[in-house]
Every structure is written in C-alpha cells, then in structure tokens.
A and B are shown apart, each in its own frame.
Chain A
Amino acid sequence: MPDPIIKTCSYILAHAPNFVRYGSKPMREIADDPDAVLPSIESHLRTFQEAVAYAPNQVYIGNLHPDRLNDMEQPWYGHPLEGASRCGPYGESMPEDELLALMKLADDFDLVWLDKETAPILSGALRSNPLWKDSDLKKVDAGMERGRIDERIQHHGSLPLYRDGRVVGCVHRHHEQDDTLKAHVLMENLLAKTSGALALTHLLNNAKLRPDEIDFILNCSEEAVGDRYNRGGGGLAKAIGEMCGCAHATGCDIKAFCVGPLYAILHAAALVKAGLFQRVAVVGGGSMAKLGMKFKGHVSKGMPILEDVLGGLAFLVTGNDGESPIIRLDSIGRHDIGSGSSQQSIMESLVLKPLDKLGKKVTEVDKYATELQNPEVTVPAGSGNVPLTNYRMIGALGVLRKELKREEIDRFVMDHGMPGFSPTQGHIPAAVPFLGHAIDAIRKGEMENAMFIARGSLFLGRMTQLSDGLSFLLEKNPGKA
C-alpha cells in the first residue's frame, strides 16, 4: 500500500487579549503585584485589527508565504499590513466576541455564564461568521443576571470574563476540592476545546467533507483534561469531534510536549497505512497558559504584548489520492532513548539518519520546517531566535559532511529555512505551521519536498532528563500508478 498523504490543513488564531491576564506567567506576576502589573498588561494589549494586520499572523493563516517576512521591515508590529484580512486560505483570525460565544457553545456543563446584556451581542457576532451562522446558539443567547455572576465570582471561586474593561461573565469551578476542576483549569481546557473545534471546522470546510466522513480524531492540544483521580486523563479529541458533528468518529489524545503534533501525524499515517481508518483528523487547540508568556520582555521594551492569540491547527491524513504530498514513512527521524542529548546528536538523529536512509544530501531537501517560533516574540525576552539557530545547526551538519562550505551557511539558511512566524503556543510552532504552505508549494510544483522536525523538552515534567524529537519528509506525490 502506498504511503498516506496529508490532504489538507487548517490554521486558526483566536484573539484573546482579555485572557492574557490568565496566562501562566501574567497570572503569577499579577498575584505578586496586582496594582502595577495588571494596568501595565492592559495598556500593552493590541486591538483585533492590529493582531490581524500583524504580518506573522497573516503568514500563519496562509495569506503570505513565510519567505515574504525576509523582505519586510522589522519590527513587524510597527509595520502593519494594509488591507489585511481576518480570513485566509487555511482559516481565520477570530475576534474575542466570537471566541466568547464559541466558548459558551463548547460548554456542556454550564461552566460559562455570560451576562444577559452582553450574551446577545456575542451570539450576534458569531452568527455573522459564515461557518457558525447556522448553529443553534440558544445556549449563548440565554444569558444570566449580572447579580448572580457577581455572587459566583465573589463567593464561589468563579473567574471573571472581561470585555471592554468590564466583567461580562464568568467561568465556574466544578468541584469544591478538586484542583483539576477549578475555574482556571476548566477555562484553559475549554479554550483548547473551543479553538480546536474552530480549527477542525475549518479543516472540514477546506476539505469539503461532511463531519460524519471523519472516522478517527487525534487531539494534540497542550492541556490536561481530567479530574483529581486522573489528571490529564484525556478525551479532548472526542469532545472536539462531538462539537463539530463528527458522529461517526472515535479518537484519543496524544501527549508529547512540543512533538505532540508530529507524533499525532505519525499515528494518523500509521492508522491509515494499516487500513484501520480511512480519514484521520489531527487537531490541536490553543494554550491559554502560554498567553503573555514573554510579556515582561515586551512591556520593558515598550512593545505590544504579542502573545495575545490562541493558535489552532488541524490536518487531514488519508490514503493516497494520487495528488496530495505523501508522508514518506521510510523517512521517519527518531530521537531514541539512547540517542544522546547533545544538540548535535539530536539533529543527526532527526535530520541526517533519515536523509541517509533516503540517499539524499542536506541540500536536497527544499525547505526544512523546525520550531517556528516568531523571533519578535522571543528575542526581546532573551530567549533568542529559535528557528535561526536550528537552521544554522542543519547547515553545520552539511558542513561536517562536506556538502556545504562554512561560508555558505547563511545562504543555506535563507534558501532552505524561513523566518519564524508562529505564535509561541508550545505545540503549535513545532514545524507544522509550514505544512499548509508546503502542501500548496509541492502541489504547484514549486517544491519537491520539505522536512518537518520537532523537538520536545520531556525534562520539563521532571520524570526524565531526556529530550525528544521526531521528523518526517513530505514529498511530491508520484501520481497514480
């Protein structure tokens, strides 16, 4: 049986400025000094139009090729794109009003209350979205008396939802003593579900598939849905699938820090190749914990807080259609437990070993997609330009193999790499934001192949000192036999 393909993809951003305060880093800093930190955060938030017109966000939803960023003057936030659209070929940027309404739509346990005055405004906003206009929004319309919302916030551990500087609702806890079901965790999980469902809806729309044509869903979001007896128990894949009407699908969650999306695609490809399932959707929702993660660096440099969007993505893996790029299953690069943890050994495992198996040189891969964090987010916070370092490492491997000269590394980076453009949402930047652009370019004959490389920091969970990584080559379909 031929190797599986990635038929199509979707990418969404949900603008969530009023959730930045609930990101892990802002929340801790606000608790330490609420009078200073919160006003400072609020005064550095962007409007929806500013987030839409931000060039890296336009790349993410497919309106611009990543290489175009090379020609654009930085800082990109200082050079908004005129006439930028919230919609793109891969998905959309969703404003916060629609996100709040969609969050209520995703809520199956009455965890979210919206006040009576605001609820119709939010549901009206969602009705204006072509993908949700026919949804049953009665649940959103209903609304709740403001007094009851205030009472829950003051006495029962509910967290306020904000809009235009005032409280317009809240998220409740669902157990008095269970920290995994407290309001903050449920808010985080609900936003992963909401943004994941938005990504999956766009995927179905892009693929022109009915929801019931999907038969397996793999969720690779960064959340820990569960309860006190099973933290991170899972179930988000089916929760997202249910919300999107995928009645004939089953599924489960894949966890592997930043390598999650690549493991999910690998599993999807294996399930299709084995003939167990025909159409597998891989979906990842956004991570509220990462909102405002580098806000201190941004604020100290007088920049807007750029981590104000939740990212979502979805991919459709199917059997060979004779057209779409194939996942070369003989190209899987693995970081085995015994591989060693130096940067060199990790990159050799993920890049050189697969190339050796395929008989290719480093320069025979048209584009490498590594971790694609937007450097404008990370550099001001002292975290460096992650993609650039990765591309230089791949170039250095070429130098060691005498396939490149050292002075050619900069050129190699320009030709075979790309500037980072992805929001710093943990799993989201892990190579896969380039999949959509790669599928398009390979279909058009502008590229033959692209290698996707993700690395994960397993040590962050304190169970092992190991790192992790996975890679695969996406290649032009040889066509029907």
Chain B
Amino acid sequence: MEKQTIIKKLVDERGVEDLVVVIGAVDPEVAQVTAETVTLGDPSFAGPLAGVSLRLPVYHILESEVKNDIPQDVYEEQAGFMEIVADTETISRKFKEIREKITQV
C-alpha cells in the first residue's frame, strides 16, 4: 500500500515517461501481483492505485534485461543471493506476459 502511494506520487510529480518500475519480490506470485498493480491497477481496489492504470513498463530485478544494465559486482552483491533462491524462468515468463498485456490494453 505504501509502495503504491510512492509510485502514484512519482507519477503525479514526473509523469509516466522515463519511469520504469523494477520489482524485487522473489515469490513469482507476489511479484506478479505487485507488477500488475503498478501497471494495470490495484486488483484489490484498496490502495491509491485502485482503478488507476498507469501502464508503466515493469521489469523484475532478476530478468536479464535489468541484470545486463547493472555492473556485475554490484549485481552480485545486491541480487546474487536472491538469483539463486528465485525461480527466474517463471518470473521472466510472467513479466513478459504482463508487458505484452500492457501493450494490448
């Protein structure tokens, strides 16, 4: 809920251009719900993004598109452990689907 508030504030202040959301949740289901909330709107209709479809591009920190843009040593230190923990294949698949859904809306 607090994160929804922060993202809504950022969008209100800066607009949706040049804004990308990077999700870090390691559980694929949690990551998916979080990603859908900041792109398609709050499915629980409880937070600041209820009925607000920002259609922001969304990536997961463990996707190769993000990993390749971060210095290897920094990535290893900050995300290396979670990369071993997470089911990165499922996460990548779910996030690609969400990005495709945004372009179709």
Contact = CB atoms under 8 A, between A and B. Distances in A.
**Real binding pair:** yes
A176 B33 CA distance: 43
Nearest to B44: A296
B82 to A, nearest CB: 7
A388 B90 CA distance: 15
A393 interface: yes
Interface stretch (B4-12, B23-31, B56-64, B96-104): B23-31
Contact of B82 (A296, A297, A343, A409): A343
B84 to A, nearest CB: 4
A281 to B, nearest CB: 36
Interface residues of B, number: 15
Contacts of B82: 343-344
Nearest to B83: A396
Interface stretch (A41-49, A106-114, A161-169, A377-385): A377-385
B30 A384 contact: yes
A396 B27 contact: no
Contacts of A383: 30
A385 B81 contact: no
A400 B84 contact: yes
B56 to A, nearest CB: 18
Contacts of B74: none
Interface in A381-402: 382-385, 388-389, 392-393, 395-396, 399-400
Nearest to B33: A382
Interface string B74-92: 0000000110111000000
B29 A399 contact: no
Contact of A396 (B30, B33, B85): B85
A382 B81 CA distance: 23
Contacts, number: 42
B26 A389 contact: yes
B86 to A, nearest CB: 8
A406 interface: yes
Q: Is the interface of A mostly helix, strand, loop or mixed?
A: helix
Contacts of A399: 84
A405 to B, nearest CB: 11
Nearest to B25: A384
Given A383-B30, A385-B27, A396 B81 contact: yes
Contact of A384 (B29, B81, B84): B29
Contacts of A382: 29-30, 33-34, 43-44
Interface string B22-57: 000111011001100000000110100000000000
A389 B84 contact: no
Contacts of B85: 343, 389, 392-393, 395-396
Nearest to B81: A344
Residue among B33, B34, B81, B85 with max Cβ neighbours from chain A (10 Å):
B85
Nearest to A388: B27
Contacts of A384: 25, 27, 29-30
Contacts of B44: 296-297, 382
A400 B34 CA distance: 28
Interface in A332-349: 342-344
B81 A400 contact: yes
A343 B33 contact: no
Interface string A345-367: 00000000000000000000000
Contacts of A392: 26, 85-86
B25 A396 contact: no
A396 to B, nearest CB: 4
B24 to A, nearest CB: 10
Interface of A: 296-297, 342-344, 379, 382-385, 388-389, 392-393, 395-396, 399-400, 406, 409
Interface of B: 25-27, 29-30, 33-34, 43-44, 46, 81-82, 84-86
25 contacts: A296-B44, A296-B46, A297-B44, A343-B26, A343-B81, A343-B85, A344-B82, A382-B29, A382-B30, A382-B33, A382-B34, A383-B30, A384-B29, A385-B27, A385-B29, A388-B27, A389-B26, A389-B27, A389-B85, A392-B85, A395-B85, A396-B84, A396-B85, A400-B81, A409-B84
Given A343-B81, A382-B43, A393-B85, 14 more contacts: A296-B44, A343-B26, A382-B44, A383-B30, A384-B25, A384-B27, A385-B27, A389-B27, A389-B85, A392-B26, A392-B86, A393-B81, A396-B85, A406-B84
